[in-house]
């Protein structure tokens, strides 16, 4: 479990890192639900001895924008239609626009990149496109991803397929509205892996770590 407060403190100090000091590697992982992306991200972080950031990003955005985490999750996941898509109230009466959200999101991810780590989702691959990072896409077919979800949730295949399709549409809509990019555009990634044929996600993590070093990102393997 990542200590969010420790992350916040580290982010505030990240600007003080000397330019000649080696920085930890940074990997962004975009993933489809049921592809095993979260498991892969966690294993990559463990192999490299770095943190894995996902929900912690939302915590930091909420802190900086003084808005509840519930609102930030709604902005990201529900992706409401224009009109009330990016500007609406929560119990506190606080309003947040799309531009505000994008500002805090960009600031957070860029500062996290100074510390090194695996950054999951939230358009990290687009925000850090001009940085020294490895950008990875973990994906899979609707059929295979749904089978994994059905087994995990003990749900029907029909429900699992709907969950996958809804998630793909939501995440794709978020990336398009925020950045004007297609979520699965191969040009936005350095490495794309279809996990349909991988029973062991550890093998996928191994591929990513090897790609990181082969492409010259981060320190050489020990």
Report pLDDT digits (tens) over 146-190: 999 999 888 999 999 999 999 888 888 888 888 889 988 999 999
pLDDT exceeds cutoff 60 at 18:
no
The region, left, alpha or beta by phi > 0 then psi within -120 to 50, assigned to residue 66 is left
Task: Tell me the domain boundaries of the chain.
Answer: 24-212
Position 194 confidence tier, pLDDT thresholds 50, 70, 90? very high
Alpha carbon 103 to chain centroid distance?
16
**pLDDT tens, residue by residue, 125-152:** 999 998 889 999 999 999 999 999 999 8
SS3 210: helix
Give the pLDDT mean for 83-97.
43
pLDDT score of 130 = 87
Asked if 118 and 29 count as a contact pair (C-beta separation under 8 A), the reply is: yes
Higher pLDDT, 92 or 143: 143
pTM, whole model, 2 decimals? 0.77
Query: Residue 80 — pLDDT band, cuts 50, 70, 90?
Result: very low
- For residue 19, what pLDDT is reported? 55
- Reference 169, options 74, 33, 70; nearest CA is 33
Query: 44-53, 74-83, 86-95: lowest mean pLDDT where?
Result: 86-95
Cα–Cα distance measured from residue 115 to residue 17, given in angstroms and rounded to the nearest whole number: 9
What is the chain's Cα-based Rg? 18
Give residue-wise pLDDT tens across range 25-78. 999 999 999 999 999 999 999 999 988 988 667 667 666 666 666 666 665 554
The more confidently predicted of residues 91 and 127 is 127
Q: What is the predicted pLDDT for the residue at 197?
A: 93
Residues 6+ apart with CB under 8 A from 44: 27, 29, 52, 118, 205, 208, 209
**CA–CA gap between residue 44 and residue 21 (Å, rounded):** 23
| CATH of segment(s) 24-212 | 3.40.50.300
- Both tokens assigned to 21: 């000091």
- pLDDT for residue 103: 79
């Amino acid at each position: 479990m990542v200590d969010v407060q420790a992350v916040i403190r580290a982010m505030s100090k990240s600007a003080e890192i000397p330019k000649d000091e080696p920085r930890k590697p940074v990997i962004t992982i975009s993933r489809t639900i049921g592809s095993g992306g979260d498991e892969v991200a966690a294993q990559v972080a463990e192999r490299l001895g770095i943190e894995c950031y996902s929900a912690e990003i939302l915590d930091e955005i909420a802190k900086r924008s003084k808005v509840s985490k519930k609102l930030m999750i709604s902005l990201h996941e529900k992706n409401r239609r224009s009109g009330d898509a990016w500007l609406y109230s929560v119990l506190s009466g606080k309003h947040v626009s799309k531009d505000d959200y994008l500002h805090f999101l960009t600031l957070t991810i860029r500062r996290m990149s100074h510390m090194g780590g695996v950054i999951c989702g939230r358009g990290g691959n687009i925000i850090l496109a001009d940085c020294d990072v490895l950008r990875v896409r973990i994906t899979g077919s609707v059929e295979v991803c749904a089978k994994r979800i059905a087994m995990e949730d003990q749900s029907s295949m029909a429900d699992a397929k709907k969950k996958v399709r809804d998630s793909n549409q939501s995440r794709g809509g978020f990336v398009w509205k925020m950045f004007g990019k297609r979520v699965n555009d191969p040009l936005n990634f350095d490495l794309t892996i279809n996990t349909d044929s991988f029973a062991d996600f550890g093998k996928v993590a191994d591929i990513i770590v090897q790609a990181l070093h082969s492409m010259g990102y981060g320190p050489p393997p020990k």
